[in-house]
Structure 1
Amino acid sequence: MKSVEEFLVYAARLEQEAALRFDELADAAGSFENTEVADFFRQMADYSRMHLEEARKRGGFHDLPEIPPGEYAWPRLESPEAAAIWAADPQMDVSMALSVALDAETNGLAFYQGVLDGTDDPEIKAMAAEFVEEEAEHVAAIKRWISRAAA
């Protein structure tokens, strides 16, 4: 990341795409009348929208530059926190949904950790550390849900 503005644009886009994907998965599960999974994915989409708003607020007085969707330099083809599209499976159960969510949140955590480890800019480092902490909490929460579901 070359600037705080760029970091914030990436953070906002990551959360926006996570919310969109979780909404798509919720819609797919709902179309198969799999309400428990649909409700879970909708909850994850809501969390992503809350984090999107947090990322936007953190921008404060910064003018956030526009980056065309095809020009983001994600580690993979799409945003790290966009859940796997294969999760639109009609046979999806809550356990599988939790696994998909864990994978998405773990990828988000790895992205922010990579930013933290790869920058010398103290302001970017401070913000990335906050995002790492938040994503680590999300990963831990999903792991707790997985443990409860297994019990």
Structure 2
Amino acid sequence: MKSVEEFLAYAAKLEEEAALRFGELADAMESCGNSDVGQLFRRLSDYSRMHLSDARARAMYRDIPDLKPAEFQWPDLESPETAHIWAADPFLGHAQALEIAREAEEASRDYYKSILDTTDDPEIKALAKEFFDEESEHVREIHKWIAASKEGRRATAG
């Protein structure tokens, strides 16, 4: 990352794509009657929308670059928190959905960690740490959901 503005452009895009994908997966699950998994994906979409709002609020008084989709350089083909599209399988179970969510949240956490570890800019470092901490909390929450699922119960948000 070369600037705070670039960091915020990437953070906003990452959260926007995560919110859209989790929302699409929630819609797919709900339309085929898999409401349990649909609710999980909807919750994750809502989390990403909150982070997107935060990134946009921080960018409000800055000149954020208007990057085209092809200009973003992600570690993989898509932004880190974008869940696998095959998760739209109508027969996807709750445990599988949790694993997909865990992978997406861990990829996002690791992305922010890599920025935190490689930048020398103190403002970018502070933002990356904050976003890393938020994603780490999501990973911890999903691990609680996974543990609860393995015990045959549903974890609640929080």
TM interval, shorter chain, is over 0.9
Counting aligned pairs with the same residue, the percent is 56
- Tell me whether 1:41 sits opposite 2:38 in the alignment: no
Measure, in 2, the Cα distance between the counterparts of 1:142 and 1:41. Answer: 12
Which 5+ residue runs of structure 1 have no aligned equivalent?
none
Match of 1:111 in 2: 111
Local SS of the residue matching 2:57: helix
Q: CA deviation at 1:59?
A: 2.0
Q: CA deviation at 1:111?
A: 0.5
Amino acid at match of 1:26: A
- Tell me whether 1:28 sits opposite 2:28 in the alignment: yes
- Tell me whether 1:19 sits opposite 2:46 in the alignment: no
Local SS of the residue matching 2:124: helix
Q: Which runs of 4+ in 1 moved over 2 A?
A: none
Measure, in 2, the Cα distance between the counterparts of 1:127 and 1:86. Answer: 32
Amino acid at match of 1:130: E
Match of 2:156 in 1: none
Q: CA deviation at 1:60?
A: 4.3
Match of 2:82 in 1: 82
Amino acid at match of 2:78: E
Provide the alpha-carbon RMSD of the alignment: 0.9
- Tell me whether 1:138 sits opposite 2:138 in the alignment: yes
Measure, in 2, the Cα distance between the counterparts of 1:129 and 1:2. Answer: 16
Local SS of the residue matching 1:57: helix
Number of matched pairs: 151
- Tell me whether 1:91 sits opposite 2:91 in the alignment: yes
Local SS of the residue matching 2:75: coil
Match of 1:100 in 2: 100
Amino acid at match of 2:77: L
Q: What TM-score comes out, normalization by structure 2 length?
A: 0.93
Amino acid at match of 2:83: A
Match of 2:125 in 1: 125
Amino acid at match of 2:76: R
Q: CA deviation at 1:105?
A: 0.3
Measure, in 2, the Cα distance between the counterparts of 1:39 and 1:137. Answer: 19
Measure, in 2, the Cα distance between the counterparts of 1:58 and 1:134. Answer: 15
Q: What TM-score comes out, normalization by structure 1 length?
A: 0.97
Which 5+ residue runs of structure 2 have no aligned equivalent?
152-158
Measure, in 2, the Cα distance between the counterparts of 1:55 and 1:21. Answer: 18
Amino acid at match of 1:43: R
